[in-house]
Amino acid sequence: MRRNFLNRLFIFFLSLLWVFPAFAQTFPPLYEVKQGEVIFLTLPSKQNVPLLKGQFLGKKITLDPLNESGKFGALIGVDLNETPANHLLTDAESQETLAMVHILPNEFGRQEVKVPPKFVNPSRRQLDRIKKEGQEIHALLRPVSEERYWRGNFIIPVTGTPMGTFGLRRVFNGEPRNPHSGEDFAAPEKTPVYAPNDGVVAGVVDHFFSGKGIIIDHGRGLFTEYFHLFKTKVKKGQKIKKGEEIGLVGKTGRATGPHLHWGMVINGAKVNPLSVVHLKLE
C-alpha cells in the first residue's frame, strides 16, 4: 500500500517537473540509483546546524556540511538485493521530505565456478566455524561511527584488472549460492593492496571462505573489505591513511587463483565499490 502510494507520488512529481520546469525549485531533489550502487546526495540547509540527520530505507543517515556554503552531503548506498521502488529521504526529527530516491533495477550476470568440494558442502565442524565467522563479520559491520574518517575521492586499492564480478549469481560446482557482494581484481600474488581512503581498521580476520582479510571503518556506517589476502599488514584499531599499504594479494580461502576481493558496505547495504570511485567527492 505505502509503496504504491510512493510510486504514484513520484509519477505525479515527475509530471509536474516535466510540464512546469519552473516548479522544480519548490520540490525536494530527485535522485536515481541502481541496485548495488551509490550516490552522493547533496541538500541545501534551511537551518544553521552543524549537520543534518536523515532517515532512508529504515536507516539513519548523517549529512555533513560541504565546502560549498549552506549545503550538506552524504553517501547513500542501495543494496544489490533491494527491490526497485521509490523512496523518501526524510528529516529524522521533523519527518520532512528532504529528497526523493528512485531505485532502478540492475542487471547481474551468472558465474559458474569449480572449487574443492569442501567449499560447497562443508563438514559439520566447518559449518560451525562458518557460522561463527559470519557472526563476527556482522558484528564488525554493525557499529556506525559518529565521526566521518574518509576525505575526498576514493581510489582503487590495487593495481589489477577488475573482473566485473559484483552481483554475479554464483554457482559453485553446479550448486547455486549467494550473489557475489564484492568486485574482484585479478593481480599477481603479493601485489600490494592500499587503503582507498582514510579510516580505522575494524578487524583483521582469517576465515574459511574469505581467507585472510581486513575490514576498514571509514565512518558514518561505511566499511570496505579486502579478502583472500596473502598477508595482512595492519592491526585492529590502527588508523589508516588513503594510499597506505595494508596487505598483499593472495588466494587464501575459497579462491581459484590470486586476486583481491574488494567489498563495500554502507549502512548495511552491500554495494559495488567501483560506483564510489567514480563519484566526485572533493
Q: Write out pLDDT tens, residues 230-278.
A: 999 999 999 999 999 999 999 999 888 999 999 999 999 999 999 999 8
Q: Is 264 helix (H, G, I), strand (E, B) or coil?
A: strand
Separation CA 272–CA 280 (nearest Å): 16
The answer to whether the CB of 223 falls within 8 A of the CB of 240 is: no
pLDDT score, position 109: 78
* 148-204 pLDDT, tens digit each: 999 999 999 999 999 998 988 777 767 767 788 899 999 999 999 999 999 999 999
Q: Are both 2-104 and 110-277 of the same fold?
A: no
pLDDT score, position 82: 95
* 26-53 pLDDT, tens digit each: 568 899 999 999 999 998 866 666 778 8
Q: Which of 48, 56, 68, 139 is nearest to 103 (CA)?
A: 56
- Cross-sheet strand order for the sheet of 175-179: 110-113, 169-172, 175-179
**More confidently predicted of 145 and 49:** 145
Torsion sign, CA atoms 95, 101, 106, 112? negative
The answer to whether the CB of 198 falls within 8 A of the CB of 218 is: yes
**More confidently predicted of 23 and 71:** 71
The answer to whether the CB of 228 falls within 8 A of the CB of 252 is: yes
Q: Which CATH superfamily is domain 2-104 in?
A: Immunoglobulins (2.60.40.10)
Separation CA 36–CA 271 (nearest Å): 4
Fold of domain 110-277: Glucose Permease (Domain IIA) (2.70.70)
Residue 13 confidence class, pLDDT cut points 50, 70, 90: low
Separation CA 182–CA 263 (nearest Å): 4
- % of the chain surpassing 90 pLDDT: 65
The neighbouring-strand residues paired with 103 are 33
Distances (CA, A) of 21 to 16, 97, 245, 275: 7, 20, 49, 29
Residue 25: is its pLDDT beyond 60?
no
**More confidently predicted of 19 and 53:** 53
The full set of domain ranges for the chain reads 2-104, 110-277
Q: Which residue has the cell 563495500?
A: 264
**More confidently predicted of 6 and 279:** 279
Residue 23 confidence class, pLDDT cut points 50, 70, 90: very low
Residue 3: is its pLDDT beyond 60?
no
* 89-144 pLDDT, tens digit each: 999 888 889 999 999 999 887 777 777 877 878 899 999 999 999 999 999 999 99
The answer to whether the CB of 99 falls within 8 A of the CB of 57 is: no
